[in-house]
Structure 1
Amino acid sequence: MGNGARPAVLAGGIITLEFAAAVTRFVGSTLLPVVADDLGAGNQLGLLIAGSTLGLFIALPLAGRVLHHLGARTTLAAGTVAYIGGLVLAATSQTAWVFALGQLAGGLASGVLGVFGVSAAIEHLDDKIRARVIAASSAMWILPALVGPPVILALEHLAGWRWTLLMPVPIVLIGRLLIVRTVRDDRPQKEAPRPLGRTLLVPLGAACIVLGGGWWPITVLGSVAALAGMVAIMPRGTARLSRGTPAALGAMVLFALGYFGADSLVTVLLTTGFHVSLARAAVVLSAAPLAWALASLAAARFAHRRGKRWFPVVGLTLTAIGTLVLAVQLALDPSYPVALVAWTVAGVGVGLAYPALYLMATTAGTSGFGAAELATAVITAEAIGSLLGQALGGAISNTGESGGLLVSYAVFGVALAAAAGAAVRSGEPGQ
């Protein structure tokens, strides 16, 4: 294969695996009520949901070590086998615990494959192509979000939920085939991964948050543990927002906390605070990711240039404004059209910010990290921020209907504004 073809094939493989991840996510969430009913697990929904999430967080401290010891090809093969094996185990399960075990295996594999894909992009793709891959990967969530649920339910009706659960397998195999053609000559990475130590606090803290049942002492304890583990995974200076990659990773944590926390409560905000129907709330919910994907595709054309750090600053500022407008509307005079525009603007802001922010968070620069460690750091930053945002939003919003939601969205808006401030420091000196 010519040198010109290798980056294109690798990019195609990474985007294909992202599409498979999106399909897997929507298949699992759409089929959840059917699976729970068939397995008699109506009172064990937390167990059915938690498996894949915990698998991801368990994988994050281990993925770099797996890549270091096994090398690229073996890691890719092992991750693919574990992913498919987890789906098969879940699809053939007769109890909720076996289903959760299959989901756990799938989550582990997804975490390892995610780190592998990002690290391969860091090593083999230049900034211009990486920015476009990041934007295209975001766009891969549009089709499953728009048409996934009805198609999945139709397949479930025709073939049953067990066969439908296996729908992502061919997509994963295609993505693996594309990637393995470009990394077949790679050797195990030279840099040794960071010691495990406190990094294992990440899965421990995540388990407390996910399985704690919303009891605030367990949620707080889990959040503290997860943050301590995350700091151990990040480059030195991330907590202080040191200039360069550390600040970009700090901005990624704050962005994920603010945006994904707000996104998780949009339907509750609109149905409870704005008193609109679930169907109208779903329109607002879908508008932001669609705007995100389209804006990302446009921004990716410029995100690799010298002024790239201003895209996160401007984009995150727009997202903060859109989120705070929702809080102000809730406090004053709720308006559905204003909410629709505000959350769409928030999505546009994310689309402008995300490719460049992700690019700077995965550029070695001042971090001194290798590809696998940078990949682990950026995935951990986004995953922990998202988990904390959802946990924080759930805890605050439970303190009172409109009052709790108002405070939640104010907090999310402030977090996004802080992310924009951190993004100012994300460029290397001289940029």
Structure 2
Amino acid sequence: MTPADERQSGPRPLVLAAGIVAIEFAAAVTGFVASTLLPVVTGELAAQNALALLIAGSTLGLFVALPLASRVLHRLGAHGTLTLGMCAYLGGLALAATARTAWMFAVGQFSTGLASGLLAVFGVGSAIRHLDERLRLRVVAASSAMWILPALAGPAATLGLERLVGWRWTLLVPVPFVLFGRLLVVRAVRAEPPAPAAHRPLGRTLLIPLGAAGVVLSSGWWPLVIVGAGTALVGMVAVLPAGTARLQRGTPAALGAMTLFAVGYFGADSLITVLLTAGYRVSLGEAAIILSAAPLGWAVTSLLLTRFTGTHFPATGLSMTALGTTVLAADLAAGRSFVVALVAWTVAGIGVGFAYPGLYVRATTAGTSGFTATELATAVITAECTGQLLGRAVGGALSSAGDDGGLFASYLVFGAVLVASVIAAGRTSADEQGQPPPLPAPG
């Protein structure tokens, strides 16, 4: 059976797609439950002086998983990796839910982050091997939409449940969704022999979690933030395919564009609440309206685009996101209009909806480069997650230089980085005519 036949045979591709989307929904629920419960957990564990530790656990687990994922998949195969990921996830949640100290809670969160990284690499790798480009495009769009309901209803529902059964039981809410997604994926993916993979040097790749630890545990001390971000960047270069830093045409340029996009957009997103409350002087209620506009614009646009046209416009969408981010900086310096901020941030989110699904598919399509599915999965997740980390680090360092001046500089830098992502996105075609690259061979 050829790769194309395997992708199209029977209901397996649709079952796999549903499983990946279900796991993404579980990840969204997990994130919002954990963030909503954080103040309660902090008070219960008397961890006011260890807040960074509570927050860092899952993030560090994710970054540790990324350089190890290809080795785990090679040794354990598909079902073994899924089993290990599920055991680490359930064990971590159980440990966090029964924690009596901040360190115990952090270790539990570290285990769930580690599991999330393994499951993410496995899920993306399976999608590359078994789903054609059009279906992958829809999976990415649907996965983005999975964050809408948790974002809108998650905090209120979590707090209500916490009052009924306590924070420890509430922390276990995502488990059924994860188990359901895992069941679908297992049914869809046959037992596959471990694929050969060219592993990157482990020492250099582990610089990513080392640098991430410096950023998330810095407590705002900007010299450590800068050193940590630089260390993570060196590790990221070791993980990403050769040619990414030079924006070599095709998959490397797509991965470079994904990294730049993550730095610019998620960096801006990490400071948007501060920008609105400290810079625009609006209330938290008014800020919430603007905060919800971008993710809603992202999710709805990507769903409509793939549903009705199946076409993706990375460069066009990234241009809109760059424009919206830059307008925020200009308006902060000139007018500070609530309406302008709302429109600008909405346009930024809509731009991501135009760009993200297509950019993600191009970054996970091997073309003639010979990258394996696991290498591409690890690379795209590393590019996005490390880009987010670098964006938060840059924004935190710049914004600490002064109230309005630091915020203005941050958003100018994020806008410039997004412009660079537009240039990189223009090089994502596999050839000079701009035709989409051929589908990848199984990894």
| TM-score scaled by length of structure 1 | 0.97
How much does 1:224 deviate? Answer: 1.4
Measured in 2, the distance between the counterparts of 1:30 and 1:197 equals: 36
Q: Which amino acid aligns with 1:415?
A: V
Deviations 1:369-395 (A, max 9, x none): 100110000000000100111111111
Q: Indicate the RMSD between aligned Cα atoms, in angstroms.
A: 1.4
- How many residue pairs get aligned? The number is 427
The answer to whether the 8 Å contact 2:15/2:184 transfers is yes
Look up the match of 1:404: 406
2:73 pairs with 1:67: yes
The answer to whether the 8 Å contact 2:222/2:396 transfers is no
- SS of 1:40's equivalent in the other structure is coil
**Residues 205 and 366 of structure 1, relative CA distance in 2, 3 Å threshold:** farther
How much does 1:222 deviate? Answer: 1.1
Deviations 1:114-135 (A, max 9, x none): 0000000000000000000000
Between 239-248 and 1-10, the greater mean CA deviation after superposition: 1-10
- SS of 1:399's equivalent in the other structure is coil
Deviations 1:40-79 (A, max 9, x none): 1111110100000000000000001101110001101110
Q: Which amino acid aligns with 1:47?
A: L
Counterparts of 1:129-168 in structure 2, within 5 Å, are 129-168=135-174
Counterparts of 1:213-224 in structure 2, within 5 Å, are 213-224=219-230
How much does 1:292 deviate? Answer: 0.1
- SS of 2:194's equivalent in the other structure is coil
Measured in 2, the distance between the counterparts of 1:303 and 1:95 equals: 52
Unaligned runs of at least 5 residues, structure 1: none
Unaligned runs of at least 5 residues, structure 2: 1-5, 435-443
Measured in 2, the distance between the counterparts of 1:206 and 1:144 equals: 26
Deviations 1:182-203 (A, max 9, x none): 1133221133433323111111
Measured in 1, the distance between the counterparts of 2:345 and 2:215 equals: 27
Measured in 1, the distance between the counterparts of 2:26 and 2:347 equals: 28
Look up the match of 1:390: 392
Measured in 2, the distance between the counterparts of 1:187 and 1:159 equals: 44
Measured in 2, the distance between the counterparts of 1:304 and 1:83 equals: 35
Measured in 2, the distance between the counterparts of 1:192 and 1:385 equals: 24
How much does 1:367 deviate? Answer: 3.6
How much does 1:302 deviate? Answer: 7.3
Measured in 2, the distance between the counterparts of 1:220 and 1:78 equals: 34
The answer to whether the 8 Å contact 1:255/1:419 transfers is yes
Counterparts of 1:26-45 in structure 2, within 5 Å, are 26-45=32-51
Measured in 2, the distance between the counterparts of 1:110 and 1:257 equals: 21
Look up the match of 2:336: 334
How much does 1:304 deviate? Answer: 6.0
Q: Which amino acid aligns with 1:400?
A: G
How much does 1:366 deviate? Answer: 4.7
Q: 2:363 aligns with which of 348, 353, 361?
A: 361
Measured in 2, the distance between the counterparts of 1:223 and 1:45 equals: 20
Counterparts of 1:166-185 in structure 2, within 5 Å, are 166-185=172-191
Deviations 1:299-332 (A, max 9, x none): 2247866xx4xx0100000000000000000011
2:269 pairs with 1:263: yes
The answer to whether the 8 Å contact 1:246/1:367 transfers is no
Measured in 2, the distance between the counterparts of 1:91 and 1:120 equals: 31
Look up the match of 1:373: 375
Name the % identity: 65
Q: 1:324 aligns with which of 310, 321, 326?
A: 326
- SS of 2:247's equivalent in the other structure is coil
The answer to whether the 8 Å contact 1:236/1:367 transfers is no
How much does 1:398 deviate? Answer: 1.1
How much does 1:365 deviate? Answer: 1.9
Look up the match of 1:424: 426
Look up the match of 2:438: none
Counterparts of 1:242-321 in structure 2, within 5 Å, are 242-301=248-307, 308=312, 311-321=313-323
The answer to whether the 8 Å contact 1:58/1:203 transfers is yes
Q: 1:23 aligns with which of 29, 34, 42?
A: 29
Look up the match of 1:95: 101
Q: Which amino acid aligns with 1:111?
A: G
Q: Which amino acid aligns with 1:167?
A: V
Q: Which amino acid aligns with 1:337?
A: V
**Residues 288 and 394 of structure 1, relative CA distance in 2, 3 Å threshold:** same
**Residues 290 and 210 of structure 1, relative CA distance in 2, 3 Å threshold:** same
- SS of 1:214's equivalent in the other structure is coil
2:216 pairs with 1:210: yes
The answer to whether the 8 Å contact 2:128/2:365 transfers is yes
Measured in 1, the distance between the counterparts of 2:55 and 2:305 equals: 34
Look up the match of 2:203: 197
Measured in 2, the distance between the counterparts of 1:258 and 1:300 equals: 24
Measured in 1, the distance between the counterparts of 2:251 and 2:96 equals: 39
Measured in 1, the distance between the counterparts of 2:273 and 2:215 equals: 22
Look up the match of 2:16: 10
Q: Which amino acid aligns with 2:419?
A: A
The answer to whether the 8 Å contact 1:238/1:246 transfers is yes
The answer to whether the 8 Å contact 2:226/2:397 transfers is no
Q: Which amino acid aligns with 2:336?
A: P
| TM-score scaled by length of structure 2 | 0.94
- SS of 2:350's equivalent in the other structure is helix
How much does 1:113 deviate? Answer: 0.4
Between 140-149 and 361-370, the greater mean CA deviation after superposition: 361-370
Measured in 1, the distance between the counterparts of 2:97 and 2:146 equals: 24
**Residues 366 and 232 of structure 1, relative CA distance in 2, 3 Å threshold:** farther
